[in-house]
């Protein structure tokens, strides 16, 4: 049986910048490959700069590595419209709706996220899993 096609939310990627024990789990998941979106790249850069105080050359290098090793789903009008519909229907914030829409458009079966409701599967979208839960 092959592994499910996975989409990574920004919060999973950010552990790569930390000394947290979850960094190893995130690294192992990412090594198997998967999908991110342009939104995830943008959020990663913003948080790395603001919260982690990472220098821009290091952020650019991280972004280059992420975009070279993972598939990147573009942000399109279709992504936006689907994301708004998901956010409205399921009472998610807009950015989580956009993550789910991008994962859906990329054909992913799983979204790894620490912030969204683990185990939830909304109609036509991947199942949300918290990769750090035992």
Instruction: Delimit the domains of the chain by residue range.
Output: 6-129
Average pLDDT of the chain, as a whole number: 91
DSSP 32: T
At the fourth CATH level, which superfamily is domain 6-129?
5'-nuclease (3.40.50.1010)
CB 50 within 8 A of CB 22: no
Nearest to 42 by CA among 118, 131, 102: 102
| In the chain, beta strands by DSSP E | 6-8, 35-37, 71-73, 110-112, 127-129
pLDDT confidence bin for 107, thresholds 50/70/90: very high
Tokens 């709706």: give the residue.
Answer: 97
Q: What average pLDDT score do residues 24-41 get?
A: 95
Six-digit token pair at 3? 């592994």
Give 56 or 4, the one with higher predicted confidence: 56
Residue 61 backbone phi and psi in degrees, to 5: -65, -45
Q: What is the pLDDT of residue 14?
A: 95
pTM of the model as a whole? 0.91
CA separation for the pair 44, 39 (Å, rounded): 8
Is 50 exceeded by the pLDDT of residue 1?
A: no
Query: 8-22, 67-81, 114-128: which has the highest mean pLDDT?
Result: 67-81
Contact 108, 7 (CB under 8 A): yes
């Amino acid at each position: 049986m092959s592994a499910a096609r996975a989409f990574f939310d920004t919060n999973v990627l950010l552990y790569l910048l930390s000394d947290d024990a979850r960094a190893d789990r995130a690294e192992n998941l990412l090594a198997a490959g998967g999908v991110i979106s342009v939104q995830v790249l943008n959020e990663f850069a913003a948080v790395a700069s603001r919260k982690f105080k990472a220098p821009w050359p290091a952020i650019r290098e991280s972004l280059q590595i992420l975009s070279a090793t993972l598939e990147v789903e573009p942000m399109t009008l279709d992504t936006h419209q689907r994301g708004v519909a998901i956010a409205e229907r399921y009472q998610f914030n807009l950015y989580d709706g956009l993550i789910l829409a991008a994962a859906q458009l990329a054909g992913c079966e799983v979204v790894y996220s620490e912030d969204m409701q683990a185990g939830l599967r909304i109609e036509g979208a991947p199942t949300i899993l918290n990769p750090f839960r035992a």
